[in-house]
Amino acid sequence: MKKQQLIFLLPAILFSWLLSAQETVTIGKEEVQERVQENNSQLKISQQEFLAARAQYRQTNAVFLPNISASHTGMTTNNPLMAFGSKLNQEIVTQSDFDPARLNDPDRIDNFATKVEVQQPLVNLDGIYQRGAAKSKMQATELQGVRTGDHMKLETNKAYMQLQLSHKAVAVLEQALETAQANLRLAENNFKQGYLQQSDVLAVEVRVTEVDNQLQYARSNVKNASDYLMFLMGDSLDVVLVPRDSLSVQMDAVTTPALPGDRADIRAMELATEARRKMYRADKMSFLPRLNAFGSYELYDDEIFQGDATGYLAGVTLTWDLFDGSKRFGKTQESKAEFEKSQLELEQHVQQSKLELNRATRALRDAENKLNLTRLALEQSKEALRIRNNRFEQGLEKTTDLLGAETQFSEKRLEYYQTVYEYNYAVAYLEFLTSSIE
């Protein structure tokens, strides 16, 4: 019998030794939150999305700022028109250059031109609305990043509470295993003295094996919870995390939950809708003419990087694209549909958020009721186990009744801590749903 028991317990002992051989790190919730805020990859991705949106907005500065370019061109030619024009630009035309023979068959001439060009937008209404749309998009992306941070805070709290719960489960099952092993020793002594049958001892051995098996699963959950927290913190170390504070009830629940109008995700969708509206206006404004100024300053010479002759050009141009094959009509219709779709999505999201808030409020109320019931059931099962254990030691209680009481007490302890976890998560989730922009 002892040999069979050792065979059953050997894998569990080996697993426990491997787990205990790993490095353990004690960590608190605030430290976890700080490391997540600093190193979480999802938050870094969100930050890069905002930087990309801000860069797109800065590109729209071209609606107001000039476009300046410089060039230096060198060429050689004996083309009559080009040769005479080059001499004019270089200001070296003489009376002899008007000789028809030289005009028709000029000598080769070198020409080097340095040009600085400036294009200045004056009135581009579609570009102004596109700039406004880009700004709204940038602000929406920033608020989406804020909401991502809120969600990551909730996920971190959940993961930390799972770590607390898994350690609580290990502690409960370790104590249950010690109790089961003590009862096994007592049952074996009673069997030797003829007070118990062998079937009773086997039943206790089965209980020891069951508890030990549950303990190994609980220790695996500790490792899983540790790995996930390390992932959230952007770390890949293979360690077992130990929470600095134990799992306990959080009583700071939201008393009068209401959906805030300035919640980050709702404001982000409102700004996204505003961006769609401005894009629709911009597409309508594309039917209007555009007014732009232009100018250039030029230097000419027959030697490279010289400029003995200079000239300038300045003007204003009014352009009006009257018809482009109905492309703008289709684009305007598309942007209108996108704007209306965005409005409908915003309304749907608000209604869905209200529905989710109502569900979370009821879930918190149910979790609170369940917490009170499981606390009472735990106290009752603890007292029942104490009574049966005393009677068993006096030989007045059946082994099966004692095992049933032990099983029930362990289950109620695990159920209680699971309910504490559910209640704390319900509180955290309700706070997440009712959080406003700080």
Which residues contact residue 38 at a Cβ distance below 8 angstroms, ignoring those fewer than 6 apart?
234
Check whether 151 has a pLDDT greater than 80: yes
pLDDT of residue 2: 44
Q: In what order do the strands lie in the sheet with 309-319?
A: 67-77, 109-123, 290-301, 309-319
- Do 248 and 419 form a contact (C-beta atoms < 8 A)? no
Residue type, position 41, single letter: S
pLDDT bucket at 143, cuts 50 / 70 / 90: very high
Q: Which residue has the tokens 């002899």?
A: 96
Local structure of residue 194 (DSSP, 8 states): T
Q: Determine which of 307-311, 372-376, 426-430 has the lowest per-residue pLDDT on average.
A: 307-311
Q: Which residue has the tokens 């009559």?
A: 80
Name the average pLDDT for the chain.
87
pLDDT bucket at 161, cuts 50 / 70 / 90: very high
Q: Model pTM? A: 0.83
pLDDT of residue 329: 87
Residue 173: both structure tokens together: 């099952």
> Is the pLDDT higher at 393 or at 102?
102
> Is the pLDDT higher at 186 or at 100?
100
**Domains in the chain, please, with CATH?**
2-39+124-286+321-433 (1.20.1600.10)
List of long-range contacts for 151-156, beta carbons under 8 Å, 24+ apart: 151/432, 152/36, 152/37, 152/40, 152/42, 152/43, 152/232, 153/33, 153/36, 153/432, 154/428, 154/429, 154/432, 155/232, 156/32, 156/33, 156/36, 156/229, 156/232
pLDDT bucket at 385, cuts 50 / 70 / 90: confident
Q: Rounded mean pLDDT of 267-283? A: 94
Local structure of residue 298 (DSSP, 8 states): E
Q: Rounded mean pLDDT of 328-352? A: 93
Local structure of residue 312 (DSSP, 8 states): E
62-76, 88-102, 254-268, 296-310: which is most confident: 62-76
pLDDT of residue 255: 67
% of the chain residues with pLDDT over 90: 57
